[in-house]
Amino acid sequence: MSGSLREHGRRRGLALVLALLLAAGLTTAVGTVRAQPAGPAARYVVLISFDGLRADALQSVWPAALRQQGAVSWTARTVLPSTTIPAHTSMVTGRDVAGHDVRFDDWDPEMDRLALPSIFTRVRGAGGGVVVLITKPKLRFLVPLEMPVEWLPFPRYRQAAVIATIAERFRRTRPALLFAHVADPDTSGHLSGWMSPAYLRDVQEIPGLIEGLLGQIRAAGAWDETLVVVTADHGGHGRVHGTARPEDVTIPWIALGGAARAGVTLVEPIRIYDTAPTVLWALGIPIPPQWQGRPVLGALAPAAPARR
């Protein structure tokens, strides 16, 4: 009896807090604890992480045609250490490193997998299909054991083959969330140096691959309902990364597709752990209140309640 009364009081308290937030116009804060009132921006999210892709390198080759099709940030930041597993953990869990405490960058299948809620568990929990394509086996860490992961081994799967696989899986299974990891820039960086001719050759190829993928999404009739996010886990300098240097921590963060706001350069501070809440927000899935990241609302097309 007293328990239910206490529960009732707690609910009334929560309702009051939400009403006050609404009255204050804090729709962003409300959105982090409740489903978005205007309805999802997208039915499909494609998230592509180019390992080791520096923002300045991609910016130098990003064409006007792609700038007009989306929202870009060349000043987004990853976490410390600026290494693959900690950064991807932040990308998919919405948490800074202090919030997930994953600091190692080597993983083998005997080790535990990430146990925190992530975009993978949340989208699947909401009933959405999830496809995960990885080019380095250690990224299996991010995905619960019971969820399927497709390993496309690098270098058999260089970036063009990964993008072609994304397009094929999108057409065939149309998952709510398709995550793909691309190994090329990081590999060239470690072998030849970040910003070396070999590294820049990889980077120069990326815009054309993305344009081709967007064309396939259009051809599939899914443009209006799709958000494509192109980003990276970290940059690099010399033949290494992992430090707090701007070359290591500055990453591109780009939203494309019909669910993205077209033709804008984002100047707001974006952190890699804003990616996960942006994915959930776009799909209309509530964002766990423990997440430190916030959805990058400036990257999304204005709410279109009639869209679905």
For Zn ion, the binding residues (CB under 5 A) are 186
Question: Which residues, in sequence order, are CB contacts of 43 under 8 Å at separation 6+?
Answer: 176, 222, 225, 226, 283, 308
Contact (Cβ atoms closer than 8 angstroms) between residue 151 and residue 132: no
Tokens, residue 136 = 């380095």
Determine the 3-state secondary structure of 204 from DSSP: helix
Matching residue, tokens 């619960």: 144
Contact (Cβ atoms closer than 8 angstroms) between residue 152 and residue 179: no
Neighbour order of strands in the sheet with 70-77: 150-151, 130-134, 177-182, 44-50, 226-231, 250-256, 70-77, 264-265
CB 86, min distance to Zn ion, A: 12
Q: Which is nearer to Zn ion, 82 or 121 (CB)?
A: 82
CB 115, min distance to Zn ion, A: 24
Q: Which is nearer to Zn ion, 32 or 187 (CB)?
A: 187
For residue 271, give Cα distances in angstroms to 14, 47, 52.
29, 15, 16
Q: Which is nearer to Zn ion, 32 or 82 (CB)?
A: 82
Give the C-alpha separation, 186 to 80, whole Å: 17
CB 55, min distance to Zn ion, A: 16
Contact (Cβ atoms closer than 8 angstroms) between residue 136 and residue 233: no
CB 186, min distance to Zn ion, A: 4
Q: Which is nearer to Zn ion, 88 or 124 (CB)?
A: 88
Q: Which is nearer to Zn ion, 186 or 247 (CB)?
A: 186
- Of the candidates 65, 75, 77, 40, the one whose C-alpha atom is nearest the C-alpha of residue 263 is 65
DSSP designation for 52: T
**Cβ neighbours of 26 (radius 10 Å):** 13
CB-based closest residue to Zn ion: 186
CB 240, min distance to Zn ion, A: 8
Tokens, residue 293 = 């990241």
**First-last CA distance in the chain:** 43
Q: Which is nearer to Zn ion, 206 or 222 (CB)?
A: 206
Cα three-residue angle 224-78-301, rounded to 5 degrees = 20
CB 149, min distance to Zn ion, A: 20
CB 207, min distance to Zn ion, A: 22
Q: Which is nearer to Zn ion, 186 or 248 (CB)?
A: 186
Q: Which is nearer to Zn ion, 32 or 250 (CB)?
A: 250
CB 51, min distance to Zn ion, A: 6
Angle, helices 84-93/275-283, rounded to nearest 10 degrees: 30
